[in-house]
Structure 1
Amino acid sequence: MAALMNKVAIVTGASSGIGRAAALLFAREGARVLVAARREEPLQALVEEIASAGGQAVAMAGDVSDEAVARELVARACAQFGGLDVAFNNAGILGEMAAAPDLPLSAWEATLRTNLTSAFLAAKFQLPALAARGGGSLIFTSSFVGHTVGFPGMSAYAASKSGLIGLTQCLASEWGAQGIRVNALLPGGTDTPMGRHVANTPEAMAQVQGLHALRRLAHPDEVARSALYLASDASRFTTGTALLVDGGVSIHRG
């Protein structure tokens, strides 16, 4: 049986990269999916691709750091599909990169609002909906950056992604008795638009690949499969974790 048969899932940051791969995979595994991102056109293309493969999906464009959008995502999932079982809060940005003395406060705040505050807002509305279904899975996309590795110029990104792990742990403790599992997914370098922005020359790409024990970047579908594990009953005794899916970048020193 498909891993998410008859489940309802929200996937944010679904217009490209890991979010898009996860939405496609969740739909193939039987979930009815509400996909969200800022850009309407790629979302509609994704919905059409899911439908052409026999799945069910609807799209909602909006800024996940807007509380009204976070509320409406859950309301629409419940109205369209009858409830919520899985939430994969994957939307995020790299943000401006600079040494701390050179980083404008506005850039710091924008990164934390998009990566961390949006996760709080998502959980604020998703948790009651998950509880109403008797439990479910809430997943955040964090990063190995700020958890096992630090890079110069990435203080805002690292702080926002590290903060997601603390949020994960507290929510897992608060909501475990209601059958809700809360976990953070920590990808390594992944072949996404964000990843290619960081490694934007052949030399930079070779350097980033070499940081990983596997000597390559992940394909978005590989990370999506780990999200599927956390979304499904295969991880039914897993909560409060920071799951590294990083190709060994956290342990490689060669």
Structure 2
Amino acid sequence: NAAVNPYYGPLSGIPDDAFSKVLDVNIRSNLWLVNRVAPGMAEKGKGSIVIISSIAGLTGSRVLGAYGISKAADMSLARNLALEWGKQGIRANCIAPGLVKTDFAKALWDNPDTLAGALKSSPLNMIGEPEDIAGAALLLGSDAGRFITGTTIVVDGGATIGGE
């Protein structure tokens, strides 16, 4: 997956090319990759597909709507891939990270006001580290996750459960 969001603003003003780019990078590229690797996994009788989505796919946004739409579609893609490839021993799942300390999200966690808001909404009073997402990916990609398919694991420190 590539972390990209070429448009920040309301859906009512999004240019077609910007919307297409968001969908191409965040959805179509996942499907293309799966279509390249799943047949080989099927030949081996097992495999695990892990798509990185976002909690933006679970919520609405006045300025990141296109991104959120694409991430919700990734969750649906994982469910459909799980159904399509499950009989061949292939599992498909999504991880929906919250705010994570990455270069992609630096504008959010590097801003003291935004960071304070994120910390306030987190029951754990923290933002994620890349290792937190890696842990979920390791679970899903290993035999420890052999009975998990077609679902989205939210890794957001509890930010989406509500509260303050």
TM-score tier, shorter chain, comes to: over 0.9
Distance 1:104 1:201 in 2: 28
Higher relative contact order (CA 8 A, sep 6+): 2
SS where residue 78 of structure 2 aligns? helix
CA offset digits 1:54-99 (Å, max 9, x no partner): xxxxxxxxxxxxxxxxxxxxxxxxxxxxxxxxxxxx3231331101
Structure with the higher strand share, 1 or 2: 1
Distance 1:144 1:170 in 2: 19
* 237, 245, 249: which one aligns with 2:147: 237
Aligned match of 1:181: 91
In the alignment, residue 92 of structure 1 is paired with which amino acid? A
Aligned match of 1:217: 127
Aligned match of 1:127: 38
In the alignment, residue 100 of structure 1 is paired with which amino acid? L
CA offset digits 1:160-182 (Å, max 9, x no partner): 00001111111101111110000
Distance 2:84 2:160 in 1: 29
Is 1:91 matched up with 2:2?
yes
Return the TM-score normalized by structure 2.
0.94
Q: Structure 1 unaligned runs (5+)? A: 1-89
SS where residue 217 of structure 1 aligns? coil
SS where residue 5 of structure 2 aligns? coil
Q: Assess if the C-alpha contact under 8 Å between 1:213 and 1:252 holds in 2.
A: no
Q: Assess if the C-alpha contact under 8 Å between 1:150 and 1:158 holds in 2.
A: yes
Return the TM-score normalized by structure 1.
0.62
CA offset digits 1:197-254 (Å, max 9, x no partner): 2344211221122222212110101110110000000010110011111110110321
Aligned match of 1:4: none
Aligned match of 2:50: 139
Q: Provide the aligned length of Structure 1 versus Structure 2.
A: 164
* 12, 15, 20: which one aligns with 1:101: 12
SS where residue 137 of structure 1 aligns? strand
CA offset digits 1:88-127 (Å, max 9, x no partner): xx32313311011222111111111111110110111111
* 65, 72, 92: which one aligns with 1:162: 72
Aligned match of 1:112: 23
Q: Assess if the C-alpha contact under 8 Å between 2:82 and 2:93 holds in 1.
A: yes
Aligned match of 1:46: none
Q: CA RMSD in A?
A: 1.3
Structure with the higher helix share, 1 or 2: 2
CA offset digits 1:1-51 (Å, max 9, x no partner): xxxxxxxxxxxxxxxxxxxxxxxxxxxxxxxxxxxxxxxxxxxxxxxxxxx
Distance 1:110 1:198 in 2: 22
Aligned match of 1:67: none
Distance 1:134 1:118 in 2: 24
Q: Structure 2 unaligned runs (5+)? A: none
* 172, 190, 193: which one aligns with 2:100: 190
